[in-house]
Structure 1
């Protein structure tokens, strides 16, 4: 029987996670220069369309269908979302319609690939990027989603899930591996293939709209409650735990990032506050339903401080990760996954395990590390191959002239802000007043 309360919660969570992609577009759009704001927002927004179609055709089936090969990928039994109109996912208090579950998981796929747009902002062609989204989700995200999210028996009697969740038994409640470490490792591979922006790091690249960055970060934080607490798939105690952890870690990370900035640079910044919030939310994602509130506080502090320090790595090693996807999502996911091996508690969630600090020994920490390495390696290698092939065939990067003039005009024939003079009336008469005129009309000769 369908549980209506849990169904309502997952429906709401689906909407919350969907909102994260437009929120990400605002977050990224404010961080780039005016000549690239539309392009970076479009490369995020188009993921809703591409992945939305792909998911119905074969994406959900390969990610969550019963295992087809050694715990690595699902089969084709649910191609076209067949049979989902009458199917149920889960049981008891978390029994929800399979179609609702499919749409909830779709939003995870969308936001994951949209994150990569920030790594190569200001220098990618739109249609080759769209092709990259299609191929990357197929070859990178779908297998990893099966490894991490597909549980034995979850989508039907006898269904077999992925190896990380069901064989390795690594803990990852809402996507520290398949979403965060995956996007961080893939972003690193992508920027190495595409290359640096013209003049980077010699020429300063400053955010053009910090209010947009803060608004986008706020929408991401808002949607993250659906991302984490919604992953309980019901109105359950685990959802409540995840809700508390998500708020706690995000708040702690903001403070940690600002303290690092104060010590390192002499003053806190609004960009740092926004980035710190995202770092804390990334860090708590895998651990949100498995740790106590104090554990969430510790993870948030660690993620904020470590990610704030990690943003300098791109200057040290020379990779142009435009909007710090590697430092925030890759490093933040790594922090959360490994600290989960220390701070997980069965008393908090009986479905989890005890970490090292709760008497569980090094076993769970080791399983977390294996999951991290496996996802990192697959994401990096396969993304590098996809990006290299597309770049060598149809060209993923814009021409030098287009990059210099701005990808908004070159790729979309639009600009984010129209500062041209408004023309009214007849001829070339302009609004406003001319010197010597008090009415705004052109003076008589």
Structure 2
């Protein structure tokens, strides 16, 4: 039984009926305005007293509905109601105001259909049930049987049960009409309220921008935390080995550990704050170390663990890393940091670092070259355990360079492992400037 009655009077059908009644209610201001105009044009007659004039007022109100449906905010309002009351999956409906005229016209068509059909269903819902009740109880009431309709239905030619059957048929017909109208709107909702090609493109661009921000935050976390853990592990191990024989070195290593963890906790808190707030726009305002701000400190903290690090710096004609473009200085710092982290995790000997600004074919470039002995084979490294790491740091360094139009090369180079990054800084006509 439920299989047959569910589509007509089930929970979804009832909710769609409410949606239609809402459309009828929204049509009332338009209908009242149209009745005033039609009544004035007809010589000041009462429109409600004439069925033709009432229908004419209804027809005249629909162009007004279509006109207001062109406003951009109509689509999100309609989509929210349709998503909640028609049973259409939310992902098939667009979010946000309609911006293109194609989307506005589709939203206007939906607005007109919803209000127009809703008004008809509302009128039927008000008129049919009382009429059906009267027909059902007519055989039990002498007054009703004596009325005009009762005289006709209970004439000698009519069967006594015709009136109740007609009343029940009217109720069933009303349920069928309401269910059909609700199903029609549910079918049309994705067509008229669904995202346009422009909406899909905008959503894709938004997702791409969000993914780019998340990737950047992931790189910041990987580089900052990864380097800190590598440096702290090396410094703690070196301090443990000379704990009794060289107290001065131990104090220096502990101071470096304190400074490294303090800086990393600050960076970690900034990144986690951005993730927690969910505001990608703040990512560009996130404080990040630069060559001018912390390169010497980074090198000192690396040496504090006992690592032999030879560094050569050549800022070029500017004479100061502070003259570099801020974004180039920031990304270069992270590339150097990742190179040092990689060397500390996998290398076994001294590190040589060269950072210089030079001119190639009329364009200024920042070049970073870092070499260190290659990692030992797995059977001789870390007690026979293979080294860990999935190459995310080098991939992140490549992404950082690519953002500036540069490149990163990493791999064996003769008897050493070499990391080389080249970042363009612009032409020689703008020293100290940048992209």
TM more than 0.5: no
Answer 1 or 2: higher relative contact order, Cα 8 Å, separation at least 6: 1
TM range (shorter): under 0.3
Relative to the length of structure 2, the TM-score reads 0.24
- Pick the structure with more strand per residue: 2
Relative to the length of structure 1, the TM-score reads 0.24
Larger Rg: 1 or 2?
A: 2
